[in-house]
Amino acid sequence: MNITKTEFLAKTVGVVGLGLIGYDSHVAGKIESSSYQKQCTANGVTRAYENTMRLENPSIVEAKGKTAFFNYQLENNLSDFFTGIAGYTKGFGSMLVGNIIPLGLSIGTVFTKGLASKACGIGLLAYGGIFFIQNILGIGKPKQLVSDFK
């Protein structure tokens, strides 16, 4: 295996890029997972509660059944597992899509050889530099007016 120093540096940049994107996506997935779980639980409990407030006919069996279902919804932990997976997937995927350019450059750097790997590495470094200057340092980013947040 004969690898040049520049190709090694390019591959290192690509692996670091993949690691940063993976970490960022994982954290976004965890945040979205928790948020989505709480949102689904709140919606389910709200629907069950609203259902207990209405009776189509004066039936004690229907009323007790609705109340029992509402109490079940309050204690339900089974759906949290599945909604957590769905939320994590949603958050992880949206972060990957948001970082599609550096992801593509990182993959191109790691999985290609020669000039293509080096070009992708240079592109990834340039993208990272622009990202750092604009988003971390705030240089060259247009100022937002207060009215933009409404």
* Every domain of the chain and the residues it spans: 5-149
Q: What is the pLDDT of residues 69-128, one digit of tens each?
A: 999 888 887 888 899 999 999 999 999 999 999 999 999 999 998 899 999 999 999 999
Looking from the CA of 41 toward its CB, the CA atoms found within 13 Å total 20
Residue 61: count of CB within 10 angstroms of its CB: 7
**Helix (H) / strand (E) containing 67:** helix 60-75
- Do residues 114 and 21 touch, judged by C-beta distance below 8 A? no
142 has a pLDDT exceeding 80: no
Does the pTM exceed 0.75? yes
Say what the pLDDT of residue 3 is.
74
147 has a pLDDT exceeding 80: no
Q: What is the pLDDT of residues 12-22, one digit of tens each?
A: 999 999 999 99
**Helix (H) / strand (E) containing 108:** helix 100-111
